[in-house]
């Protein structure tokens, strides 16, 4: 019997939340869950619709993209997940979708401005949108380079992946992560909500200002860090 | 056995309406219900998702923010609820959400203009959007000051909370209230609908005029007050 | 036993379609069904939410607004229904909602342009938006005058209610009708869809032209009239 | 017993996906499935709502529009389907809807620009919007000419129907196709999603540039053709 049954189950259940939360149609997304002690992660197989996906279909892969267990091909975005896990040691789960409003911002090529406390409850920065990869990287090891693109964007901006748990890959779509797979899906849903709210905010007031610093900090730190008083 | 079982039940059921009415995802909202004779209110615990919330999780708090009964931490917005109950004696329930269109107007920092009779059926004023708190209040007793901000906004505008049962807190989101918790949820749903209609109205006609006075009054007073002929 | 059981049932079932079709929340709408041989119509009672509405709650009213049967108060829009039935002899059902996109166009005060064949499948005219009633009519017999407003709008434009089965009352919302109550609900849902499509069309192309005459006629007459070849 | 039972079943099931995927209301769409060996296709009957449609209602028609089997009238768009099957030998299924965002682009009369990889996963071209038929063709054999309009649009642009599996008929709405009926429905849902994403993209950034060539090709060819590594 596989020693990855629990990991596959976690990955499967997180994937099944995507259609429930209206974040995907058909096969437009994938979630992975990591087991740091084993040095592997579980990820959705490529091209399998959610309504036929089973826990045993989940593929186990190591951080160098070797298939450790599974008969199906892993998600075509696997190399992006692998590099993020390898580089950022605190990630427990990663979620990639093509959710509508997040894709629209990624296609618009704009950071999502922090307009309110819904955003500040989750991060104090504008949600970053990457640049586009140069052609030789697209034609080369594309999904691996997409991982590098995300990591470099965070380095250039001085962002910590534990504080900014989401990104828009320009002209592509969102990636989000968290301490586990479920939290990465949560962050994907929050991102989609923030993107819709921001689009409507600009529609109502094209000159809407960003949230002021004191409110950013108040809302973020009442949910995160030592002085947090939100939740249990 | 707790003497607040009925109050907790009322509060629980009103909270459970929020996901049904698509007004919240995850933990993005809270409803409270007051018992004036006991000088307490029941409120959702902080950080508990709706799909696992149980009636016995509801926390009982007095108007000075002391926990009277309950093992969980009350909603982080509890002090805002407490001050509104303490100041406005007719409130029976309060509802706070981060519903999409209401947040967009709050982030846009604009009052919602009264464009039609759907709005006038519920209030004759534009839906007020507050100012932003000064930094020292944000860094101080923030949730209590948010209550003051709402109350001061109504005083400055000469609004009665019994006639205008909803407000947008700038860069944050909506609060609504009513004679009981269920009615506060109803008003939150009406507010969200009005915000969506107003956004679309401006999208179709940026110069759309406000409703004229005679229609405001006709629709409001056929549902409210002595001459009302709407409903039973 | 009431002789209006069948009529009440038709009216009840048509009303219950409104929440199913996402055309109403709470009590934001009403449908009526007429019995021409008895000179009466059945209409939703005022202020009753759809989830508790029962067939026996439906009220029977004649064309002069007298209650013929029923213990509840009929919809506050009853006089509008009555006058439309009395004036336009072919109407079998009338539906009034506050559906989101139709209200937005009514609040924008604009006719809905005929931009495509979805619209032309149902009518060859722009969907008319009325003017606003003068103050003395609003303060007088308001709901009756709303009926007159609709009828006068059709007279001024030379529209036949059998060919244009829907209207927007300015700053209020849509009324639709048809050969029976079910068809009036169908037309209300079509109207809402056309209003959403038209808003998006203008959003994508503010200079989108109206459909040309030959296409208007082709689509309308393949569904309506002698040469129709759509449907059974 | 009919020899077309399997074909009718395929057609029926594909049609029933349309309301599930929110691509139609009432009778606003139709799907067909072809049997090349028999030289016939199965298509939805005209004017039958989805909630009463049965597999045995499906009509069998040949490529010259003769009814081969069935008691109901085939969809009024049958001649468009027939001509596409007759001309493009690889089509296995065709789907026509009046889905909201696709209709909005068709009414706006604009090609849908390729803004991102969601689009490029399915086609490397902007989604073409046809011209309008001249009046004499509208007044003549309209549905047959609509088929010609689609085919001519592809010829003028040098598009292959196997590579661009969707089109917008100006002022009307979308047609999509694929290797079978189910795939044509899939493409209709993808088209609707792309149309919504593109509308929002322009709303956020009216100057959003098209996807660059290297990304178009990377995404398309990782799912299609010899070097594909997406799916099983």
Cβ atoms of D114 and D126 within 8 Å: the answer is: yes
Query: What subunits make at least 3 CB pairs under 8 angstroms with B?
Result: A, C
Q: Which fold has domain C5-223?
A: L-fuculose-1-phosphate Aldolase (3.40.225)
Each residue of D122-155: pLDDT tens digit? 999 999 999 999 999 999 999 999 999 999 999 9
**A79-113: per-residue pLDDT in tens?**
999 999 999 999 999 999 999 999 999 999 999 99
| Most D-contacting residue of A45, A50, A107, A205 (CB-CB within 10 A), to test interface | A107
Interface confidence (ipTM) of the complex: 0.97
Asked if D196 is an interface residue toward chain A (Cβ–Cβ < 8 A), one would say: yes
| Helical spans, DSSP H, in B121-177 | 135-139, 142-157
D215 vs C: CB within 8 A: no
- Average pLDDT of span B194-204: 98
Q: Is B115 on the interface with C (CB under 8 A)?
A: yes
Cβ <8 Å between D105 and C204:
yes
Q: Are the Cβ atoms of A138 and D204 closer than 8 angstroms?
A: no
Average the pLDDT over A195-205 and give the result: 98
A203 touches chain B (CB under 8 A): yes
Q: Cα separation of A140 and C163, whole Å? A: 61
Check if B126 contacts C (Cβ < 8 Å): no
- Which of these is catalytic: D35, D121, D142, D221? D121
Radius of gyration of chain D (CA): 17
Which is nearest to D177 in space by CA: D49, D59, D85? D85
What is the nearest CA distance from D2 to chain C, expressed in angstroms? 22
Confidence band, pLDDT 50/70/90 cuts, at residue A225: confident
CA dihedral sign of residues A117, A121, A123, A127: negative
In chain C, which residues have their Cβ closer than 8 Å to the Cβ of D107? 115-116, 197-198, 201, 208
- Note whether D73 contacts C229, CB cutoff 8 Å: yes
Q: Give residue A194's Cα distance to chain centre.
A: 14
In the predicted model, residues of chain C with pLDDT beneath 70 are 231-232
Kindly report, residue by residue over C19-77, the tens digit of the pLDDT. Answer: 999 999 999 999 999 999 999 999 999 999 999 999 999 999 999 999 999 999 999 99
Model pLDDT, residue D139: 95
Query: A225 to each of A218, A228, C156, D15, D98, how far by Cα in Å?
Result: 12, 6, 68, 52, 50
pLDDT at B151 over 80: yes
Residue D148's CB is within 10 A of a number of other CB atoms, namely 16
* Cβ contact C46:C53 at 8 Å: no
Nearest-angstrom CA–CA distance, A105 and A79: 24
Q: Enter the DSSP assignment of B210.
A: P
Instruction: Please check whether residue C87 is in contact with residue C154, taking contact to mean a CB–CB distance below 8 angstroms.
Output: no
Q: What is the pLDDT of residue C232?
A: 45
Nearest to B32 by CA among B45, B23, B51, B19: B45
pLDDT, residue C228, reads 86
D22 is catalytic: no
Strand pairing category for A59-62 and A67-69:
antiparallel
- Answer whether A169's CB lies under 8 Å from A105's CB: no
Give the C-alpha separation, A219 to B141, whole Å.
13
Number of Cβ pairs < 8 A linking chain A and chain B: 85
> Among B107, B113, B173, B202, which would you mutate to test the A interface (most chain A Cβ atoms within 10 Å of its Cβ)?
B107
Q: Which residues of A touch D222 (CB under 8 A)?
A: 76, 142
**Does position B110 have pLDDT exceeding 90, yes or no?**
yes
């Amino acid at each position: 019997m596989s020693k990855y049954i629990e990991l596959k189950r976690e990955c499967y259940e997180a994937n099944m939340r995507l259609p429930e939360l209206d974040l995907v149609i058909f096969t437009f997304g994938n979630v992975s869950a990591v087991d740091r002690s084993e040095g592997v992660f579980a990820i959705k197989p490529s091209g399998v619709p959610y309504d036929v996906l089973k826990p045993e279909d989940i593929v186990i892969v190591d951080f160098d993209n070797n298939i450790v267990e599974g008969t199906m091909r892993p998600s075509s975005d696997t190399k992006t997940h692998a590099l993020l896990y390898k580089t950022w040691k605190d990630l427990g789960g990663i979620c990639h979708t093509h959710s509508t409003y997040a894709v629209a911002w990624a296609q618009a090529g704009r950071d999502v401005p922090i307009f309110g406390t819904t955003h500040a409850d989750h991060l104090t920065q504008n949600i970053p949108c990457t640049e586009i990869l140069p052609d030789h990287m697209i034609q080369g090891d594309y999904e691996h380079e997409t991982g590098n693109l995300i990591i470099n964007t965070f380095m250039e901006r001085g962002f910590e992946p534990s504080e900014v748990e989401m990104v828009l890959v320009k002209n592509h779509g969102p990636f989000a992560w968290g301490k586990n797979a479920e939290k990465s899906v949560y962050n994907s849903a929050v991102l989609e909500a923030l993107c819709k709210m921001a689009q409507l905010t600009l529609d109502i007031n094209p000159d809407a200002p960003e949230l002021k610093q004191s409110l950013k900090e108040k809302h973020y730190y009442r949910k995160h860090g030592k002085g947090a008083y939100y939740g249990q």
